[in-house]
Amino acid sequence: MESTATIKNLRSTSRKACLVADVVRGKNVGEALCLLEFSVNKKIAIDFAKLLKSAVANLQSKHTDATIEVDELRVKEIRVNEGPVMKRFRPRAKGSASGILKRMCHITVTVAN
């Protein structure tokens, strides 16, 4: 049994999200949640924890007849893709402007036993 949860257009760069995804990939769900809550010191770790809990809830709602223990589940796949880019500008000297890119990412988590 497996289930997937996705978050799109998350206001963080894919490079920063990949750092957190590498820590959690392949771990048990309980261990991954502990790592995200206590040891990973990144703002995006909160979003990863929410997404992981959502994937577990999706699995439980999809298979209501079977008893699913969270300790037996593991993170099968985490995929981080680049999302759209918001382009802004910052005023500079002598009436000019320079560009700012506010990047986003898409994250997909698959949980299986």
- Note the pLDDT of residue 78: 96
- Note the pLDDT of residue 71: 84
- What does the buried/exposed string (b/e) look like for 67-103 if buried means 16 or more CB atoms within 10 Å of the residue's CB? ebeeeebbbbebebeebeeeeeeeeeeeeeeeeeeeb
Give the residue numbers spanning the domain of 56: 2-112
The C-alpha atoms of residue 24 and residue 111 are separated, in whole angstroms, by 12
**Structural domain count of the chain:** 1
- Note the pLDDT of residue 66: 79
- Note the pLDDT of residue 63: 86
Which domain CATH number covers 32? 3.90.470.10
The C-alpha atoms of residue 64 and residue 13 are separated, in whole angstroms, by 36
Q: Which residues of the chain have pLDDT under 70?
A: none
